Every structure is written in C-alpha cells, then in structure tokens.
C-alpha cells in the first residue's frame, strides 16, 4: 500500500465521459489498496469562459473577486469526480481549499502554497476514502481565496505530494508523456522515457507545456519522483527524477520553442558603470521579466547598444518605462515582436564537445539568422525570426538524432 497523488489536467476532465473515465483510473488504484489524493483542474475551457465573463463586467475586474470566480472551475470538477466515484461504490469526498486548508501567500492570481493541513485528509485516507482536491488555489492568512497562476494545478499536486509524504506524483494529461519536441507540429517527435528534473525544468520554462516549471522546481528541491502519463492510453509515461539516474549517451534530449517573446534594442546608451542596473531596475519593479541580454560596445567605447528580450505582452509597458526613465540616456528604442525562442536541452551537453557549433551550423544551412544567444550548462537558446520557427525546430530535431 502506497500513498499516491494523481493530478488530472483540464483535457482529462473535459467532459462527463472523461470524468467517468478518470473515476475508473482512480478505482483501479484504490482496488490495489493505494491511498489516493486526486488533484483536479477545471474542465478544459472553463477558466477562459470565466475570464471572459469577468472582462464583460470590467477589463480591470477586482483581483480578489477574480480569484473567487476562477477558483470555482476546479470546485465543479471536484464535485463531479467525487460523485462519479461514489456511483462506482468508492468512498470519496471533495475537499475545498478552505476546508483543508491550503495556505498561501502572495498576490491574488499569483500566490504560492506555503503549507497544507494534513489531518482531515489523512484521517479520511486511513478510513479507506479517496480525497479529491482542487488544484490552482488556496486561502490566504486573511481568509481570502487565492489562485496560484495558470497551470497551478501542477504546483498544487507537487506540494501535496511533498507535504503528505506521498511515494509518487503522477501527472495525467492528454499526451503519452514528455516528447523530444511538440508532437502536434513535428510528427517525428518521440516520447522520452526518462528525463532529469533539470532538463524538464528547462523544457517547461522554454515553452514545453506538459508541466508547469514551478512544479518541476518544487519536485526537484524535495526529490519527489514524477511521472507524466496519458489519461487515455495505458502506455508507460515519462519518469522525471534526479540526474544520477539519467542516461547521458544523448547530448540533446529535446528541442523547445516559444513564440511569446519580443526583442528590444536600446541604441547608443552612454557606456558607464550602473547603466544596465538603471535600465533594468524599473523593469524589475514593474514585474517585467527580462530574459536574454546582449551588450555591444561601440568602437569609440563611449556608447553601447543593449539588446534584451521580454514577454510579448510586456513590450508596451517596457517601452513606456524606458521612455519615462530619467536615469539613462540613449538615442532610440527599436523593438521586434515577430521573434521566437528556440532551444536545445540536454544533460549530456556538459560532456559533449561541438554541440554549439552543430546547432549554429544547422541553422546556417537553413539560412536562419540568429538575433540573440543565451546559454547554460544544459541549455542553448537562440532568438530568430518567428517565421523560421518550425524550420529551425525540424532541423535541430534531425541533426541531434531525435527523429
């Protein structure tokens, strides 16, 4: 008998038939004498429906009330799944975030879990019950309902696995596991059987939508074994665990891409100490996340061009902040929203020479210009023109033997 956390995403519970199918998955686990905590998302599309309703009231809908509204999606799924299990003669009960409670801190719509009370659920599990818990939400010290940000059900599941000392956390989704790239766009993508926390963290933060990056980070910190698997097939999924269990024979594990980046270049900035800090400090205070940064010093060494990337949604705010700043002098700001970030990720890159050359040569062969570069031990990212994204991904996928 083991304690398991099973997390079901929005597509897994998108219809009544799918909820009944999920109930049968849980029934099988329960029949094997496992103690099951199921964490559920809202039915697919429901959160967007609720957001649309709030926007019809006001574009700047009150943040507190928005969290109350959005958290109702998971509450619906909890009740339906618990009802489906009861119909299968499985003792089951839904627990709302405030009934447990799941304690959070931080801003509305972007809170984080700091603790979860275990007594009620543990008592219920010990009495042969299945606990159904809503993902994506919690309650603040002031008693307000909070949400954890889009994709927060993954974070809830991993936090529950940690705090309840579960043996494993299984993430059920609509794909068979983690793939070497997006299988919907690149049909020759293949499923990865095993991947390290570090690689998964890079892939998820770079655009792979299988798992939320903060959930992977939490699992890595507390060494919680994860498995990503399909709700709709019985094939083995992808196991995510510590790096010492990983096969390093492949230099590159996967290729990720995202199309929500924008590039900004601030031309002819005065070249002196503190200029970069003065530029990025107000952006940080405005919650603008700066990614790649490149600085080119002019031949006279008096001015410099600073190029960096931000999320596309933040480009107007970023330009406005820079224009209003009195602490930097520059000639002009140039922006480009039609860019994409393409990345290769692999723990084997550390010990494999020539990976950088191979990537750059592959892109050159396809006549793709690199606009910016960022590296880490197990990741190499480039910014390119958005129109070349799929061509770049296909080429890299092929030259690193991932097809």
Mean pLDDT of 222-251: 84
Give the up-direction half-sphere exposure of residue 307: CA atoms within 13 A in the CB hemisphere: 14
| CA-CA-CA-CA torsion sign (205, 206, 207, 208) | negative
Lowest mean pLDDT among 132-146, 161-175, 243-257, 360-374: 243-257
Asked if 136 contacts 156 with a C-beta cutoff of 8 angstroms, the reply is yes
pTM: 0.82
pLDDT band at residue 14 under the 50/70/90 scheme: very high
Q: What is the pLDDT of residues 176-208, one digit of tens each?
A: 999 998 888 888 988 999 898 988 988 887 766
Give the up-direction half-sphere exposure of residue 376: CA atoms within 13 A in the CB hemisphere: 16
Helix%, strand%, coil% for the chain, nearest 5: 35, 25, 35
Give me the pLDDT at residue 301, please: 72
Give me the pLDDT at residue 281, please: 92
Has residue 23 got a pLDDT over 70? yes
Asked if 237 contacts 177 with a C-beta cutoff of 8 angstroms, the reply is yes
Has residue 325 got a pLDDT over 90? no
Give me the pLDDT at residue 124, please: 98
Give me the pLDDT at residue 378, please: 87
390's tokens: 């799929």
| Mean confidence (pLDDT) of the chain | 91
Asked if 6 contacts 37 with a C-beta cutoff of 8 angstroms, the reply is yes
Asked if 106 contacts 67 with a C-beta cutoff of 8 angstroms, the reply is no
CATH topology assigned to domain 3-174: Carbamate kinase (3.40.1160)
**Residues of the chain above pLDDT 90, percent:** 64
Q: What is the pLDDT of residues 38-67, one digit of tens each?
A: 999 999 999 999 999 999 999 999 999 999
Q: What is the pLDDT of residues 238-283, one digit of tens each?
A: 999 886 666 666 789 999 998 888 999 999 888 888 888 889 999 9
Has residue 300 got a pLDDT over 70? no
Has residue 299 got a pLDDT over 70? no
Distances (CA, A) of 68 to 60, 156, 174, 257: 15, 17, 27, 33
Give me the pLDDT at residue 213, please: 82
Q: What is the pLDDT of residues 352-394, one digit of tens each?
A: 888 999 999 999 999 999 988 888 888 999 999 999 999 999 9
Give me the pLDDT at residue 295, please: 83
Give me the pLDDT at residue 78, please: 98
User: Higher-confidence residue: 161 or 243?
Assistant: 161
Give me the pLDDT at residue 247, please: 61
């Amino acid at each position: 008998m083991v304690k398991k956390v099973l997390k079901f995403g929005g597509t897994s519970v998108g219809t009544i038939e799918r909820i009944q199918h999920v109930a049968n998955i849980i029934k099988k686990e329960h029949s094997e004498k496992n103690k099951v905590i199921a964490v559920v998302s809202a039915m697919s599309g429901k959160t967007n429906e609720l957001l649309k309703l709030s926007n019809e009231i006001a574009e700047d809908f009150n943040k507190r009330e928005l969290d109350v509204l959005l958290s109702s999606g998971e509450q619906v799924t909890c009740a339906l799944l618990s009802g489906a299990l009861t119909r299968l003669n499985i003792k089951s009960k839904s627990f709302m975030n405030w009934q447990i409670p799941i304690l959070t801190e931080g801003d509305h719509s972007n809170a984080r879990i700091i603790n979860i009370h275990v007594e009620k659920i543990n008592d219920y599990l010990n009495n042969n019950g299945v606990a159904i818990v809503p993902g994506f939400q919690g309650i603040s010290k002031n008693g307000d309902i909070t949400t954890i940000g889009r994709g927060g059900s993954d974070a809830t599941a991993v936090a529950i696995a940690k705090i309840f000392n579960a043996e494993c956390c299984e993430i059920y989704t609509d794909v068979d596991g983690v793939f070497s790239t997006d299988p919907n766009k690149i049909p020759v993508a293949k499923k990865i059987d095993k991947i390290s926390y570090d690689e998964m963290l890079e892939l998820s933060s770079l655009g792979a939508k299988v798992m939320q990056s903060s959930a992977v980070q939490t699992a890595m910190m507390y060494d919680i074994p994860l498995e990503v698997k399909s709700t709709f097939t019985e094939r083995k999924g992808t196991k995510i665990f510590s790096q010492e269990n990983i096969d390093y024979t492949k230099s590159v594990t996967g290729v990720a891409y995202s199309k929500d980046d924008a590039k900004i270049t601030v031309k002819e900035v005065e070249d002196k100490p503190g200029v970069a800090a003065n530029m990025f400090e107000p952006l940080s205070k405005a919650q603008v996340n700066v990614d790649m940064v490149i600085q080119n010093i002019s031949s006279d060494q008096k001015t410099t061009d600073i190029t960096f990337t931000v999320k596309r949604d933040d480009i107007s705010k970023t330009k406005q902040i820079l224009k209003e700043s009195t602490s930097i002098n520059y000639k002009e700001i140039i922006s480009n929203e039609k860019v994409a970030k393409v990345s290769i990720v692999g723990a084997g890159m550390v010990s494999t020479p020539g990976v950088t050359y191979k990537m750059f040569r592959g892109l050159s062969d396809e006549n793709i210009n690199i606009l910016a570069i960022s590296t880490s031990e197990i990741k190499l990212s480039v910014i390119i023109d958005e129109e070349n994204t799929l061509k770049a991904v296909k080429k890299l996928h092929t030259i690193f033997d991932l097809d």
